[in-house]
Structure 1
């Protein structure tokens, strides 16, 4: 089955994202405001640099060997989102469905970039399942799930 990623794409202007230079406090506030558990992170040039989740914030708040625990909101102003990023591989807009599926198995969404690594949106697991369920050749059990 051939699927155009652009058909599945939620464009950047409809996606909650953070800038890598946002403070941890700003990041937490934005996650709460948008009700998301993970969001893409971009730099000020618009390039995708990673993903950050609630868990990433939580793990950073716990004290680690040699790393003090920032316990006040004031102290959270000194830490930036780029300090807690984790890798969530992006795909190009021209990626195959197989590439997309390889990534979506491990993550709730896959960031999509253009040839200059500029963030253009995301494809969610829900979008892929919906698309597959609408296909005439989709397995009957997959149609029942959606």
Structure 2
């Protein structure tokens, strides 16, 4: 029996090999959210006790209305010290970022990383059909890179 073919046997194709790495694969789904009428002291306590750096602000209907972060709180602490004004009664609605950029969970993780670099944001809420379904942070992007070891993207 002679050689029929000089080609090597075909390698089985792994269905996940060429699959895009999506934001939805690494986003946080169990969100800690804040309300507009929460005090800054309450937000600071939640940030510290949950070891997070910020989160989405939702209204009573659950609609996304803003983002509050450590930086927003620190800014108010600094200003309150400068003007000798207590922050105990300051509400989130006055200090949150209201112009919220969101991204889609089906976005490729590398496009999300590029968006982080361009926007200087630390987190993006993930929306689907007008509903808040998660959040992706810069740390989540790093977890994705570590998970894939930087060699199979």
Structure 2 length-normalised TM = 0.67
The answer to whether structure 1 residue 58 and structure 2 residue 71 are counterparts is: no
State the structure with more CA Rg: 2
Equivalent position of 1:15 in the other structure: 31
Shift in CA distance, 32/127, structure 1 to aligned 2, threshold 3 Å: closer
CA distance in structure 2 between the aligned counterparts of 1:98 and 1:49, rounded to whole angstroms: 26
The answer to whether structure 1 residue 114 and structure 2 residue 125 are counterparts is: no
After TM superposition, give the deviation of residue 18 of structure 1 in Å. Answer: 1.0
Q: Per-residue CA shift, 1:98-140, capped at 9, x if unaligned?
A: 5422333323322111121x221112223223323416434xx
CA distance in structure 1 between the aligned counterparts of 2:133 and 2:36, rounded to whole angstroms: 16
Moved more, 33-42 or 125-134: 125-134
1:101 aligned residue (109, 113, 123): 113
Equivalent position of 1:143 in the other structure: none
The answer to whether structure 1 residue 85 and structure 2 residue 96 are counterparts is: yes
The answer to whether structure 1 residue 3 and structure 2 residue 21 are counterparts is: yes
CA contact (8 A) 2:109 2:141 kept: no
Q: What is the aligned residue count?
A: 129
Q: Which runs of 4+ in 1 moved over 6 A?
A: none
Q: Per-residue CA shift, 1:7-48, capped at 9, x if unaligned?
A: 11210xx22221122122221221122122222222222222
Task: Point out where structure 2 has 5 or more consecutive residues left out of the alignment.
Answer: 1-18
Equivalent position of 1:39 in the other structure: 55
After TM superposition, give the deviation of residue 3 of structure 1 in Å. Answer: 2.5
Q: Per the alignment, in what secondary structure is the counterpart of residue 56 of structure 2?
A: strand
Aligned residues: CA RMSD: 2.7
Equivalent position of 1:76 in the other structure: 88
